[in-house]
Structure 1
Amino acid sequence: MALAKLDVVVLDCPDPRALAGFYAGVLGGTVEGDQDGVWVDLKVPGGPALAFQKAPGFVPPRWPAADHSQQFHLDLVVDDLDVAEKGVLELGARPLDAEDRERTFRVYADPAGHPFCLCSC
């Protein structure tokens, strides 16, 4: 028996509305609940919600760097890595590990610097 149910994954960032817009472009969904620029929700179709919380003095993680740990990252499943890569780069992501094009995943940073992976099925 579970003790809890996952409600939302929250990402600290300097601009919650902008980062919610980035992930809405990647995942779809609806940006809701802008609370004075401090908290924004993204309701994702068919998945858990994401929330974005303003963090004054936010310092993005560095990947891979043990002294600036990423803490966590999102794995996003896609049908076509090349198509998805083009889309996330157009939305403002930047590649973190573009060396091995034969792997089943590619690593990027969102506009606030959080690492995420595009993964093929």
Structure 2
Amino acid sequence: MNTAKTSEPTFRYSAVTFDCPDPAASARFYSEILGLPVVFSTDDFVLLGQEGAAGLGFNRLTDYRPPTWPDPSQEKQAHIEIGVDDLDAAQARLLALGAVEPGFQPEPDRWRVLLDPAGHPFCISTLV
């Protein structure tokens, strides 16, 4: 009988990667709002992060189709929640950086849904 302990693998959250048409443009947008530097970059992939912390990746997808939220014809696959101190000031800054405000806002007094330059929905909230 083998009594050697089998080591369990260790898992850690390392990144979320978004498909997009232009990884450099998406990375610039999120780098600006989150203060994350580029830690790896090719023509088709950019990773933002900090040493020892989870990051955000952006992967070029040639036939990328942005989500059509809130229209379900091309569902969102994921979205980021970003905590802010002031919804109005944060929204104004994000719009200046290239975010787009969709016409539908489910609870604008609690959180705002915006679209990044590639069309991915993300939320800003004072609750996060």
Q: CA deviation at 1:33?
A: 1.7
Question: 1:60: which partner in 2?
Answer: 66
Question: Deviations along 1:16-44, whole A, 9 cap, x unmatched?
Answer: 01100000111111023221x11101115
Structure 2: which amino acid aligns with 1:21? Answer: R
Distance 1:9 1:50 in 2: 5
Give the number of the structure whose alpha-carbon radius of gyration is greater: 2
Partner residue of 2:20 out of 13, 24, 30: 13
TM-score, normalization: structure 1?
0.87
Q: Which amino acid aligns with 1:69?
A: E
The one-letter amino acid of 2:101's match is: P
Identity fraction in percent: 37
Please report the TM-score for the alignment, with normalisation by the length of structure 2: 0.83
User: What are the superposed Cα offsets for residues 60-96 of structure 1, whole Å, 9 maximum, x if unpaired?
Assistant: 0011122211011111010111111011001000012
Give the structure 2 partner of residue 48 of structure 1: 54
> What amino acid is the match of 1:17?
A
**Unmatched 5+ residue regions in structure 2?**
1-8
Specify which structure has the higher proportion of strand.
1
